[in-house]
Amino acid sequence: MKTIKIGTRGSPLAVWQAEWVRSQLLALYPEHEVKVVKIKTTGDKIADVPLAQVGGKALFVKEIEVALLNGGIDLAVHSMKDMPAEIPSGLCIGAVPKRENPLDVLISRNGYSFKDLPKGAHIGSSSLRRGAQVRHVRPDIKMHPLRGNLDTRIRKLETEGLDAIIVAAAGVRRLGLEAHITEYLPEAIMLPAIGQGALSIEVREDDDFRRLMAPLDHMETRLAVESERAFLGRLEGGCQVPIAARAGVIQNLVELTGMVAEVDGSVLLREAITGPADQHEKLGVELADRLLEMGGREILKKIEVRDQRSEV
């Protein structure tokens, strides 16, 4: 009997995701034993500082990727939105299962929808992407840093006197917490994070686990996510920038919408592109280039200069 070791973060949502993959593998390969190995990441250890100030989402995958490269685990399960644009040499995304709902949701303390929140309402979210889009539509709203596991963030809605929080629908649904949802935020207001709602099953490039993961791959989700990640890869320059993208696959076409914004939401650039599915990554790069020409390049430069000053 071969033991397959799945690496994951230890949060309830991360464990749920790893256990789901475990159940799929047991159904596919009943002759194998499948274990979940919890690994504490730097992102989990630094729970009281916005990610933009301490190195970004890569902090949630680095230690897990090291264990994968060293052979301590056989595959890793991540939230796709936690995956940096660059994947370490020797690793690859072996499978992308079917995507959950990619939208963000509003969880409101008094049941108010986003448009009905009182003037000057206080919303919790540490995401620069969410903050920029909220401020663009409702400059009156006050954004407050909010980190922690999903249940912690829901609890802070009450304990920190917030009017609402914004979180990913996928996590809420996977943990069976839909009763807390006040509103699914439409993409016209809140474009999702790159890869939001999708899982990334990361494997070593040179072993059999890539082949074993193939049945879990959902082609439409993979095409959409790879399009979004090509957009991210073209734009990402080492600094933390409010970026969003959402792709959908209809027959043989990919429809991709992307966004780049100033942190304060004063400028928000948004554009869409449609093209053949076999050109999906080129579409992501082309859309990024369009936004750079529309003024995105200036936004990136301005934020990069701001980051450099903060490090002095």
pLDDT tens track for 7-56: 999 999 999 999 999 999 999 999 999 999 999 877 665 655 555 555 55
CB 22 within 8 A of CB 36: yes
> Of the ranges 72-81, 148-157, 220-229, 247-256, which one carries the lowest mean pLDDT score?
148-157
44 in active site = no
Q: Return the number of other C-beta atoms located less than 10 Å from residue 252's C-beta.
A: 10
Long-range (24+ apart) CB contacts under 8 A made by 154-158 are 154/107, 154/180, 156/124, 157/107, 157/109, 157/124, 158/109
pLDDT digits (tens, 9 = 90+) for 231-282: 999 998 555 789 999 999 999 999 999 999 999 999 999 999 999 999 999 9
The answer to whether 285 touches 258, Cβ cutoff 8 Å, is no
pLDDT level of residue 58 (50, 70, 90 thresholds): low
Helices H, strands E: what count in the chain? 11, 13
Alpha helices in the chain (DSSP H): 12-28, 42-45, 51-54, 62-70, 128-137, 150-159, 169-174, 209-213, 219-235, 280-291, 297-311
Percent residues over pLDDT 70 in the chain: 91
Which of the four pLDDT bands, split at 50, 70 and 90, describes residue 311? very low
The pTM is what? 0.91
Task: Examine the pLDDT at 81 and tell me if it is beyond 70.
Answer: yes
At residue 207, does pLDDT exceed 70?
yes
Whether the per-residue pLDDT at 201 is higher than 50: the answer is: yes
Tokens standing for 61?
């995958």
Q: Cβ neighbours of residue 310 under 8 Å, at least 6 residues apart?
A: none
The predicted structure's pLDDT at residue 47: 57
Task: Identify the active-site residue in 82, 163, 278, 289.
Answer: 82
Residue 256, C-beta contacts closer than 8 angstroms, at least 6 positions apart: 227, 228, 231, 245, 246, 247, 248, 272, 273, 274, 283, 284, 287
Domains observed in the chain: 1-97+198-217 (3.40.190.10), 104-185 (3.40.190.10), 218-312 (3.30.160.40)
